[in-house]
């Protein structure tokens, strides 16, 4: 069950007050600075924003902040880059839906990173915020560890067009790797649905119904974030901002196509789960019917046998075969023939 993040701590405070909403990560905040151009790059860890210096002409920078435990660093970033107080307030409010907002010479983007724990199969949700300015991207994430390592490696190795493009393309690359991770989660959920479908058709169990409900909840959780991500990508594609180059908008359009595909896949999986739940109940009812049918046939066979045994259990002296040396074997043989005859008749009627 999703834990509700309370905002009551901000009650009565003026807008722009930096109050953290959500669970804080353990450990210290880490700020890494990537500076790159088409031919070179540097990577350094900043212990204080006073160490930050303006980038050289033609270079792009990515200020990568892990952890939101230290409001002091956030204050420093806000003062150093003249960020709006409401923007900084939204960074610390980790309960936002994905969105994009335009400030003066600044684009502010909120996204959700989803990760699937390979052991527990639990989807972990983490908010990440991006600030796009001329030739620089600033990212704020809740906890250390993310899905952005492929982008960091592309900067280090100089592969692709990342180091040749502007900061707007870096923003696209970061959003793209987040959405690509959505694909991994949705594909894993699809594999689990297929495995569960085969199991339900062969041998449904009580735990399968709980698994169906769990998968449905996970699909709803992914859908809750992918829908606004689709809106975000669509708005970045048409947003009249000089910070996004025309060539990058083509990639933003591709990002929107990916989110649409994921949303359609999730809708398909939810329909599959609804059909799978119906199949589960149908298979359980079928097995129950088969058991009832078997018990009914056994009861039907034993009804005449019980009747015969009841008659010969009466205390009369004069009964057929009662004093005959072959009476017992004759009655047992008749009962056996009666059983075989009834089984043959049930087989003939295809009740067995």
- pLDDT for residue 129: 92
Tokens of 351: 């009740």
Give the residue range(s) of CATH 1.20.58.340 domains in the chain.
285-348
CA distance 242 to 133: 10
- Looking at domain 285-348, its CATH class is mainly alpha
Averages of pLDDT over each 10 residues, the chain, 352 residues = 50 50 60 88 78 71 81 79 85 84 89 86 88 90 83 88 89 93 91 89 83 89 88 86 86 90 92 88 83 85 85 76 78 86 82 72
Domain 17-282 sits in CATH 1.20.970.10: no
> What is this structure's pTM?
0.76
- pLDDT for residue 338: 87
Give the residue range(s) of CATH 3.30.460.20 domains in the chain.
17-282
Q: What is the CA radius of gyration of the chain?
A: 35
By the 8 A CB rule, do 79 and 106 touch? Answer: no
């Amino acid at each position: 069950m999703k834990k509700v993040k309370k905002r009551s701590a901000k009650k009565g405070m003026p807008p722009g007050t930096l109050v953290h909403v959500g669970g804080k990560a353990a450990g210290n905040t880490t700020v890494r600075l990537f500076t790159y151009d088409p031919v070179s790059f540097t990577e350094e860890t900043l212990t204080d924003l006073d160490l930050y210096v303006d980038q050289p002409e033609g270079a792009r920078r990515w200020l990568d902040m892990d952890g939101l435990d230290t409001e002091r660093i956030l204050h420093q970033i806000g003062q150093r880059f003249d960020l709006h107080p409401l923007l900084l307030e939204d960074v610390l409010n980790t309960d936002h839906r994905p969105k994009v907002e335009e400030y003066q010479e600044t684009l502010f983007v909120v996204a959700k990173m989803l990760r699937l724990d390979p052991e527990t199969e639990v989807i972990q949700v983490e908010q990440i915020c991006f600030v796009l300015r001329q030739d620089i991207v600033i990212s704020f994430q809740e906890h250390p560890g993310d899905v952005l390592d492929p982008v960091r490696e592309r900067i280090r190795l100089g592969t692709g067009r990342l180091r040749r493009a502007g900061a707007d393309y870096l923003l696209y690359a970061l959003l793209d790797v987040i959405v690509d991770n959505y694909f991994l989660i949705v594909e894993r959920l699809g594999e689990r649905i297929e495995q569960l479908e085969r199991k339900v058709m062969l041998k449904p169990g009580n735990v399968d119904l709980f698994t169906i409900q769990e998968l449905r909840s996970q699909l709803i959780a992914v859908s809750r974030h992918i829908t606004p991500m689709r809106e975000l990508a669509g708005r970045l594609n048409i947003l009249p901002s000089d910070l996004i180059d025309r060539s990058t908008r083509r990639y933003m359009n591709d990002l929107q196509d990916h989110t649409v595909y994921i949303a359609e896949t999730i809708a398909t999986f939810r329909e599959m789960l609804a059909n799978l739940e119906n199949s589960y109940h149908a298979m359980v009812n079928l097995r129950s019917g088969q058991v009832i049918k078997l018990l009914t046939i056994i009861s039907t066979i034993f009804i005449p046998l019980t009747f015969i045994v009841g008659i010969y259990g009466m205390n009369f002296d004069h009964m057929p075969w009662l004093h005959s040396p072959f009476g017992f074997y004759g009655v047992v043989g008749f009962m056996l023939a009666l059983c075989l005859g009834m089984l043959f008749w049930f087989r003939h009627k295809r009740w067995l």
